[in-house]
A = this chain, B = another copy of it.
């Protein structure tokens, strides 16, 4: 475990088929005015909306609604949410939905009492938050983003064509998250698969970076093995509770800061995908899937030790009589086969991207230099071209 760090994650997780009863313990801790945040209304069809309202009524809350959160929540929508918080003197924000809904609620909760140009201050300059934070919690209905136990929130600035994240410390984490695997049963298969790959990518972004011999890598390998096993079950049997429960749990632990400890972290797959998604509004997990293989092939030589390890410990590639490069390549091939078996979209074109748009995607991308090697805009163009 390299370096000095603080681990602190005070989000309380209620997990299982009766998780929603956690609201009985949590709601009394907060004031009367609740902002209920949700998306397109699927929660009205599957009964989660009614169940949630029952709890809010039981605890005598005054409910204000903020619905219509879109898959890639926009900065404009966020500003509107902030206005609602101020107008109704909101005491607590309850997000009911997937990662986009939680990300949106989190950004509203964190930035509600900040002044000035919020995009410039918090997304561009990454200033620390000084204003009052509105406490918030979530009822998760779709998994993948890990937003239920961290301080990250991804928002799309439609005007500037940039998708960017704010990262806030534990004071900005959800106070609690309600995780009932059954709530994810009705998610359309395409979204389920995209969420599964989002989880995989979160693990890889941390795993495929420097850190020496770190326990974080061993935990990450365990999470990946469990994800591979459960995702292939869920693909054919989306209502298999055991598989969906494991996937939900892995999603949370993939991005709640644990496996980042001692690691440099890369995040270029996300950066590249965000650059594309700022223009084509593609599903996040599928965009990640489309660019991952080209990116990892591009950096494989620089991170050979880790790609070799990935092949052996995650994919069970045998070492006998092979060079490190052969082992590493075999691992990537097994990864590719898994992605195909799962039915992920592995081409940006299928998602609506165009070769003529590459320069725009590159211009919208903020590349990091924390991975095995720095990537230039030229590398980035090549990776996008290969991902088409």
Report B-chain residues with C-beta under 8 Å of the C-beta of A15: 1, 4-7, 261
Pick out which of these stretches binds chain B: A127-135, A225-233, A336-344. A225-233
Q: Which of B213, B219, B222 is the one whose CB lies under 8 Å from A230? A: B213
* 0 or 1 for each of A358-372: is its CB under 8 Å from B? (1 = yes): 000000000000000
Given contacts A215-B246, A249-B215, contact A13 B22 (CB under 8 A): no
Whether a CB of chain B sits under 8 angstroms from the CB of A245 is yes
The answer to whether B16 touches A214 (Cβ under 8 A) is: no
Number of copies: 2
Residue on B nearest A181 in the bound complex, by CB: B1
Q: Which residues of the other chain, B, contact A250 by a CB distance below 8 angstroms?
A: 215
Number of interface residues of A (CB under 8 A): 46
- What B residues does A16 contact at CB under 8 A? 1, 3-5
How far is it, in angstroms, between the C-alpha of A75 and the C-alpha of B5 when the chains are bound? Answer: 36
Residues on B with beta carbons closer than 8 Å to the beta carbon of A225: 218
- Whether B6 contacts A12 by the Cβ 8 Å rule is yes
- In whole angstroms, what is the CA distance A43 to B183 when docked? 52
Kindly identify, within residues 228 to 274 of chain A, every residue whose CB is under 8 Å from any CB belonging to chain B: 229-230, 242-243, 245-246, 248-250, 253, 261-262
Contacts of A18 in B (CB 8 A): 4
Q: Are B222 and A249 in contact (CB under 8 A)?
A: no
Contact B226 A218 (CB under 8 A): yes
- Contacts A6-B22, A8-B13, A17-B4 known; A215 to B219 CB distance under 8 Å? no
Chain B's nearest CB lies how many Å from the CB of A236?
A: 15
Mark each residue of chain A from 6 to 33: 1 if its CB lies under 8 Å from any CB of chain B, else 0: 1111111111111100100000000000
Tell whether, in the assembled complex, residue A246 and residue B214 are in contact, meaning their CB atoms are under 8 Å apart.
Answer: yes
* Chain B residues whose CB sits within 8 angstroms of the CB of A8 once the complex forms: 10-13
Which residues of B lie under 8 Å from residue A222 when comparing CB positions?
215, 218-223
| Residue A357, interface by CB 8 Å | no
Residues of B near A5 (CB, < 8 A) are 15-16
With CB as the reference atom, state the residue of chain B lying closest to A313.
B225
Question: Do residues B213 and A246 form an inter-chain contact, with CB atoms below 8 A?
Answer: yes
Judge if A212 is at the interface, Cβ distance under 8 Å: yes
27 residue pairs A–B, Cβ–Cβ below 8 Å: A1-B16, A1-B245, A1-B246, A1-B248, A1-B249, A2-B242, A2-B245, A3-B16, A6-B12, A6-B15, A7-B12, A7-B15, A8-B12, A8-B13, A15-B261, A212-B242, A213-B229, A217-B226, A218-B222, A218-B223, A219-B219, A219-B222, A219-B223, A219-B226, A219-B253, A222-B222, A222-B223
Residues on A facing B (Cβ under 8 Å) = 1-19, 22, 181, 212-215, 217-223, 225-226, 229-230, 242-243, 245-246, 248-250, 253, 261-262
A4-B15, A9-B9, A219-B222 given. 10 additional CB < 8 A pairs?
A: A1-B15, A3-B16, A6-B14, A8-B13, A15-B261, A213-B246, A215-B249, A215-B250, A219-B253, A249-B261
